[in-house]
Amino acid sequence: MAAGSRSAAAPRSSTGWCHYSFGWIAMGRGEVAAALAEFEASVALAGPDDLVRPHALAALAPLLALTGDRDRAAKSAADALSSARAFPLPGVHVMALVRVAQTRVLCGDDAVPGSPSPSCSTWCTAWAPSSSGQRRPR
């Protein structure tokens, strides 16, 4: 294939997955600012129907909590869960719920057992039993 015949732009979701992966590499190296930048780039590239979106938002949430940005952390966690609901993939829902829980712990929102805040009630009831007893996203 001739060099000029290929598109210079990669599909947005593929590029988003690259940024997502680079974010985890940066985290492994302890480079928090670089990880934040990569996860945010992944979110910016991802459309609402791109599977990378809930993954990137979910990765971003606890990292924001670690940096002390509680409001953005909570929003990212909530957005991750909302985005995960768009996919009929239980593993994606579970991943988002785990990251929501991590974010809440890092933000200190789990300090009063049995007394969830309104946002916790929203996040923690993302799955409710159906009439058949199976768990399903709301």
pLDDT band, residue 48 (cuts 50/70/90)? confident
Domain boundaries along the sequence of the chain: 12-111+118-137
The answer to whether domain 12-111+118-137 has CATH 1.25.40.10 is yes
Angle between helices 70-84 and 52-66 (to 10 degrees): 160
Say if residue 9's pLDDT is above 80. no
pLDDT of residue 87: 93
Count of other CB atoms within 10 angstroms of residue 45? 22
Give Cβ neighbours of residue 119 (< 8 Å, ≥ 6 apart).
74, 78, 109
Flag whether pLDDT at 28 surpasses 90: yes
- On the question of pLDDT at 119 being above 70, the answer is no
Mean of the per-residue pLDDT values of the chain: 79
Map residue 109 onto helix, strand or coil: coil
pLDDT at site 116: 47
Q: What is the pLDDT of residue 109?
A: 76
pTM score, whole prediction = 0.73
